[in-house]
Amino acid sequence: MLFASPVYAHEFWISPVKYEIAVNQSIEAHFRVGQDFNGSKNSFLNRYTTRQEVVQMGKTTQVTGRNGDRPAFQMVGLPNGLAVLVHETTDSTLTYRDFEKFVAFVKHKSFDGQPEAHTARGLPKVGFVESYRRFAKSLVAIGDGVGQDTPIGLDIEIVALTNPYTDDLSSGMQVRILMAGLPRANVQVELFERAFGTIDEAKISLYQTNDDGIATFPVTAGQEYMVDNVALLPLEPEVDGNPVWHSLWANLTFAVPSD
C-alpha cells in the first residue's frame, strides 16, 4: 500500500519526468518511495492525499488527480517561471515489533536522546505505534524558470532560498527548514545526489542547519538532488494502541542544469 512501508529509512519524494520544460508543456511527475534516492513509482490515490498543488509566482493552483494516475502528478501547461510542485499525504501508522529498529531510525535521523525519552515515558519496547506524514515539494523550471520558492504553510517544509535554474551556484545551494512556520535550528539535513536520468548509486551527505534554520551545500551541473529533513514528536495516546510518536517528513527535489 502506498505510504505504508514499515521500513523507516524509506523516503517519499516527487520525481519529475523533466525538471525543465517549455512554456505550456504539461507537467508530469512520479511519486517514489525507496532508499538512497532509488524507489518504485507509485500511483496517485486520493485516500492518501491531503494536499496537492502547484505554486508559481505567488499563485496556488490545486491539482486534482484520479485514482490510479501514473505519473501520479499531472498538470496542464503553465506559463513561464519557477513552479513548485507540492504533495502532502494523510497520516499513516507503523507498529514497531523490534525496539532496535526504532533505535536505528532515531540514530540515523540524529534524534539525540529519543530512545531514553521513550523509556522515561514508560512506553513499551515492542508493540508501540508511530504515525507519520509526508510533505514533499519539487522545483520545476517552466521556460527560463525565473522565480523563487516561498513558504507555503506546510507543517514542516524545505524552502529553497536559491533558485537552482537561474541563480549563481558558485557559493552553493541554500535551503531553510521550517516547522510550524519557524526555522528549525541545528537539525540534520540529508542530501542525496546523482546524475539526472540515471540509476547510479546516489552520493549521500549530511549537513546541519544554522541558528536561522539554513543549510548550505555544494551542487554540480547535470545532477539531480533530494533534500530530506525529519522531525519526531511525542504523542499522548488517549487509548491503548494509539500512536505514541508522530514523525513529519519534509522532502525537496530539484536538478541543476547541465548547460
User: Diameter of the chain by CA atoms?
Assistant: 57
Half-sphere exposure at residue 72, Cβ-oriented, CA atoms within 13 angstroms: 26
Half-sphere exposure at residue 106, Cβ-oriented, CA atoms within 13 angstroms: 18
Q: Which of 19, 22, 40, 20 is nearest to 31 (CA)?
A: 40
pLDDT in tens, 64-122: 999 999 999 999 989 999 999 999 999 999 999 999 999 999 999 999 999 999 999 99
Three cell numbers written together for 74: 499531472
Question: Taken in order 151, 17, 226, 42, is the CA torsion positive or negative?
Answer: positive
Three cell numbers written together for 231: 522531525
Alpha-helical (H) ranges within the chain are 99-108, 114-120
- For residue 2, the tally of other CB atoms under 10 A from its CB is 18
Predicted confidence at residue 1, as pLDDT, reads 28
Predicted confidence at residue 196, as pLDDT, reads 87
| Burial per residue of 73-107, b for 16 or more beta-carbon CB atoms within 10 angstroms, e otherwise | bbbeebebbbbbbbbbbeebebebeebeebeebbe
According to DSSP, the residues that pair with 157 across neighbouring strands are 178
pTM: 0.94
Q: If you search the block for the grid coordinates 542547519, which residue do you land on?
A: 209
- Judge whether 30 and 72 are in contact, CB under 8 Å: yes
* Mean pLDDT computed over 148-171: 97
Identify the helix (H) or strand (E) that includes residue 251.
strand 245-255
Instruction: In whole angstroms, give the CA distance from residue 22 to residue 37.
Output: 26
Instruction: In whole angstroms, give the CA distance from residue 224 to residue 150.
Output: 21
Region label for 18, one of left (φ > 0), alpha (ψ between -120 and 50) or beta (otherwise): beta
Predicted confidence at residue 32, as pLDDT, reads 95
Chain center to CA of 80: 25
65 DSSP assignment? -
pLDDT in tens, 7-18: 445 899 999 999
- pLDDT of 199 > 50? The answer is yes
Q: If you search the block for the grid coordinates 507519520, which residue do you land on?
A: 132
Q: What is the chain's length?
A: 259
Confidence at 5, pLDDT banded by 50, 70, 90: very low
- pLDDT of 6 > 60? The answer is no
